[in-house]
């Protein structure tokens, strides 16, 4: 294998490891009693494939927050925003080795083909709670899709149509890749599909409801009905964990989930979401 191919493989492994690490933090925050052995074993075995020159640095960074390897965003580090000289950007693109950000020490990679977020207009009044991340126009009370690909596609297309992301097909593809690594379906018929590293816009949440439920890889093969699909810029990664914990908290009991599932128009779904998350998402 050439140095470049080798580095690409290591970068992919590091990105997967980072996702699994976040998934573990997330599980600890939302399902304190869940068993993590399988996840821990997967993390250990992938970690064993990381060359030693990157492994220590990576582990050190992951202990600090959830961003150890981050994509460039417009020639800057997407974690700390430090601009990089064009020569270094090209070296990172070529990937004959993995470079560190000189400002924050995180490992850097060139984003292959991620969708981009679209900046939103600032509203005159400061937003509160779930309104900071979502909008009535991002509510789908009746998903038509019958597969993971179809429901994620429906939600991604709405995000593109309403001007939050630039490429629904890419977003769907990336979200499916993340699901293949480990399903984001949890107990309680809820799933949290997401794509990290979507730069340009903000953290954006789209809510879709499948009245009948679909197989989404949740525990015990149970059907998933509630989908919180989120695009996550790198800098909001840590905040995403809090958002997840807030959502899990709000929808812990069946009556609240049923209330959400039975809504039939986007405005009513939005009002319900705002109301039930009022105390759990600040
Ligand atoms: Zn940096």
Domain ranges (residues) in the chain: 3-109, 129-277
Query: Which tens digits make up the pLDDT trace of 215-225?
Result: 999 888 899 99
Ligand 1 centroid–CA 166 distance in Å is 25
Residue 72 CA, ligand 1 centroid: distance in Å: 9
In CATH, the number for domain 3-109 is: 1.10.287.1490
Task: Report the relative pairing of strands 204-215 and 194-196 from DSSP bridges.
Answer: unpaired
- In the reported structure, the alpha carbon of residue 183 is separated from the centroid of ligand 1 by a whole-number distance in angstroms of 30
> Judging by DSSP bridges, how do beta strands 194-196 and 223-232 pair with one another?
parallel
* HSE (side-chain half, CA atoms, 13 Å) at 179: 23
pLDDT surpasses 70 at 1: no
Q: How far is the CA of 197 from the centre of ligand 1 (A)?
A: 14
- Over residues 149-168, mean pLDDT: 97
CA-based nearest residue to 57, from 75, 74, 49, 69: 69
Q: Does pTM surpass 0.85?
A: yes
Structure confidence by residue, pLDDT tens digits, 105-139:
999 999 877 888 998 877 777 788 999 999 999 99
> How many angstroms does the Cα of residue 39 sit away from the middle of ligand 1?
28
Supply the CATH classification number for the domain 129-277: 3.40.930.10
For residues 48-74, give the mean pLDDT.
90
* Greatest alpha-carbon span in the chain: 57
Task: Tell me, in angstroms, the distance from the centre of ligand 1 to residue 92's CA.
Answer: 13
Q: What are phi and psi of 231, to 5 degrees?
A: -100, 135
User: How far apart are the CA of 60 and the centre of ligand 1, in A?
Assistant: 15
Tell me: pLDDT of 269 over 90.
Answer: yes
CA of 106 to the centre of ligand 1 (A): 6
State the pLDDT confidence band at 140, using cuts at 50, 70 and 90. Answer: very high
- CA–CA separation, 242 vs 150, rounded Å? 28
Where is pLDDT greater, at 205 or 201?
205
How far apart are the CA of 153 and the centre of ligand 1, in A?
A: 32
Tokens representing residue 205 in the block: 């949440």
Helices of type H across 147-253? 148-161, 168-181, 237-250
Pair type for strands 76-77 and 69-73: antiparallel
85 CA to middle of ligand 1, Å?
13
Distance 75 CA to ligand 1 centre (A): 11
Radius of gyration of the chain (CA): 19
Report, as an integer, the average pLDDT of 37-62. 91
User: Per this entry, what is the length of the chain?
Assistant: 282
The alpha carbon of 105 and the centre of ligand 1 are apart by a number of angstroms equal to 6
User: Is 106:70 a contact under the CB 8 Å cutoff?
Assistant: yes
């Amino acid at each position: 294998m050439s140095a470049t191919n080798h580095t690409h493989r290591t970068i992919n492994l590091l990105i997967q490891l980072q996702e699994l690490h976040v998934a573990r933090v997330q599980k600890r925050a939302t399902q304190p009693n869940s068993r993590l052995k399988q996840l821990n074993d997967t993390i250990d075995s992938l970690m064993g494939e990381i060359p030693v020159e990157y492994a220590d640095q990576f582990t050190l960074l992951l202990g600090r927050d959830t961003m150890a390897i981050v994509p460039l965003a417009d020639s800057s580090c997407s974690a700390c925003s430090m601009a990089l000289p064009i020569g270094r950007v090209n070296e990172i693109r070529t990937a004959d080795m993995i470079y560190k950000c000189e400002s924050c020490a995180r490992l850097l990679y060139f984003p292959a083909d991620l969708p981009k977020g679209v900046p939103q207009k600032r509203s005159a009044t400061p937003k509160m709670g779930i309104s900071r991340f979502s909008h009535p126009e991002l509510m789908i009370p009746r998903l038509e899709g019958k597969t993971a690909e179809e429901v994620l596609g429906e939600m991604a297309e709405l995000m593109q149509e309403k001007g939050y992301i630039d490429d629904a097909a890419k977003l769907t593809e990336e979200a499916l890749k993340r699901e293949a690594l480990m399903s984001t379906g949890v107990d309680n018929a809820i799933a949290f599909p997401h794509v990290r590293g979507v730069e340009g816009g903000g953290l954006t949440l789209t809510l879709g409801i499948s009245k009948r439920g679909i197989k989404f890889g949740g525990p015990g093969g149970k059907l998933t009905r509630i989908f919180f699909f989120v695009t996550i810029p790198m800098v909001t990664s840590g905040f995403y964990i809090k958002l997840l914990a807030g959502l899990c908290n709000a929808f812990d009991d069946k009556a609240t989930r049923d209330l959400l599932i039975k809504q039939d128009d986007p405005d009513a779904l939005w009002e319900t979401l705002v109301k039930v998350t009022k105390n759990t998402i600040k």
